[in-house]
């Protein structure tokens, strides 16, 4: 038996043949192939190879759904009352344990066990339907879930985060959890979970770019980015963007996200200008050791915001002029090309919904916000948080220099109360 951790497939080796077991239910077509194979006197191994399922799966299916019947042509008296008569057929003691394919089946006067695909599939559908009705939790389990999860959900923790950190408590599927929530089983309801942020479709702009803007993009387009990263596959890629506050205010956030770890930095900007972005990169270069900066800030991908057009101050050292990073721009109106950071902004909006003023927020508030976001466990990181994943790229001391620290799982808060003053 071989397990492939990348693809999550279990391979069963039988007779030199590798069969994938995808852990999905048998279909009617699979059951019909089993019945046909039994009627054609094929072995269990041959059937399992034919439908790409394990040997034990086929045997369990037959055992679970074989149908018992007495012989219809019972004209030799009541043989069950005859002490010397044994109605059991010895052939049923051997694989496949049913009468399908037996030559003597039509005139047999023994007890029969037969596998029927249609009846087996009907039974499966009935059991499946019944299993999804009602509540499969005791009152004690519901009480325990309410007691532990309610305060965590009130903090804005996501369902993935809860499942990763409380596997013993949430030992049922996520669809089942949503069903329980929608049916009012728990003290919390659908509205207590962080809502999904819906981004408005951006309007196409016919505004023509200036000659300077076109020159800046030469050698830094998204196609150039793809080619550069293909030739340098081991480089650390950062996605960069801004998050707006109130429409009529200048205050905003600058966000930097490492693709591999989903780790994000948030900086408060007084205005959405090149000077403010330059100030952040000057701070990073002065704060971090030079080798650490070169290792962390290798490739930066951003959109076409005017605040990112001072390329030299983003790419180069402010002391020596040495090129430390490589900056690239997404295609116009293609925010999906830096989808990781766009998705991560959703967590910011849990705490600061659209239309919230950033004017009274400080850099310390940004640090609190980023640390709670970076401590949220993710399925995409195999249950790890971005903070933990980032430790594979740099040490804890470097993160401390950037005012980054770990929040314990049950202390993570992503709602409006986080920055309430």
Q: 120-172 pLDDT, tens per residue?
A: 999 988 887 776 666 778 888 989 999 999 999 888 898 889 999 999 999 88
Start-end of CATH 3.30.420.10 domains in the chain: 211-419
Cα(399)–Cα(265) distance, rounded to whole angstroms? 10
Residues 6+ apart with CB under 8 A from 211: none
Range of lowest pLDDT (172-176, 307-311, 319-323)? 172-176
Mean per-residue pLDDT, 18-42? 80
Least confident of 42-51, 62-71, 338-347: 62-71
Please tell me the predicted confidence (pLDDT) of residue 193.
74
Specify the CATH superfamily of domain 211-419: Ribonuclease H-like superfamily/Ribonuclease H (3.30.420.10)
Q: State residue 194's pLDDT score.
A: 63
Give the least confident one: 69-78, 279-288, 382-391. 69-78
Mean pLDDT on 5-19: 41
**CA distance linking residue 175 with residue 168, whole number of Å:** 17
- Among residues of the chain, what percentage have pLDDT more than 90? 57
pLDDT band at 76 (very low <50, low <70, confident <90, very high): low
Predicted confidence at residue 174, as pLDDT, reads 87
């Amino acid at each position: 038996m071989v397990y492939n951790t990348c693809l999550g497939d279990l391979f069963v080796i039988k007779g030199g043949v590798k069969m994938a077991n995808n852990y999905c239910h048998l279909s009617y077509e699979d059951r019909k192939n089993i019945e046909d194979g039994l009627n054609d006197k094929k072995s269990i191994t041959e059937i399992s190879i034919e439908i790409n399922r394990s040997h034990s799966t086929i045997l369990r299916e037959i055992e679970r759904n074989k149908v018992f019947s007495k012989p219809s042509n019972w004209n030799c008296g009541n043989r069950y009352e005859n002490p010397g008569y044994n109605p059991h057929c010895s052939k049923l003691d051997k694989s496949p344990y049913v009468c399908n394919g037996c030559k003597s089946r039509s005139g047999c006067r023994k007890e029969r066990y037969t596998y029927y695909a249609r009846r087996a599939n009907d039974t499966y559908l009935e059991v499946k339907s019944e299993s999804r009705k009602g509540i499969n939790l005791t009152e004690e389990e519901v009480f325990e879930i309410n007691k532990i999860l309610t305060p965590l959900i009130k903090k804005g923790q996501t369902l993935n985060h809860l499942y990763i950190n409380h596997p013993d408590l949430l030992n049922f599927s996520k669809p089942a959890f949503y069903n329980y929530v929608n049916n009012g089983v728990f003290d919390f309801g659908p509205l207590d979970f962080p809502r999904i942020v819906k981004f408005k479709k951006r309007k196409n702009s016919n505004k023509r770019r200036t000659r300077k803007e076109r020159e800046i993009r030469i050698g830094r387009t998204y196609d150039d980015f793809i080619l550069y990263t293909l030739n340098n596959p081991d480089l650390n890629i950062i996605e960069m963007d801004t998050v707006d506050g109130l429409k009529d205010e200048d205050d905003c956030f600058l966000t930097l996200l490492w693709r591999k770890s989903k780790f994000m930095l948030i900086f408060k900007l007084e205005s959405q200008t090149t000077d403010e972005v330059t100030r952040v990169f000057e701070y990073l270069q002065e704060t971090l050791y030079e080798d650490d900066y070169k290792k962390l800030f290798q490739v930066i991908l951003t959109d076409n915001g005017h605040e990112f057009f001072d390329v030299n101050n983003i790419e180069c050292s402010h002391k020596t002029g040495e090129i430390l990073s490589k900056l690239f721009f997404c295609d116009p109106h293609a925010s999906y090309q830096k989808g990781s950071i766009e998705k991560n902004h959703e967590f910011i909006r849990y705490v600061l919904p659209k239309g919230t003023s950033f004017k009274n927020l400080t850099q310390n508030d940004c640090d609190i916000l980023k640390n709670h976001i970076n401590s949220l466990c993710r399925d995409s990181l195999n249950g790890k948080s971005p903070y933990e994943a980032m430790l594979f790229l740099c040490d804890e001391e470097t993160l401390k220099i950037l005012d980054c620290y770990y929040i314990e799982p049950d202390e993570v808060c992503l709602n409006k109360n986080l920055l309430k003053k």
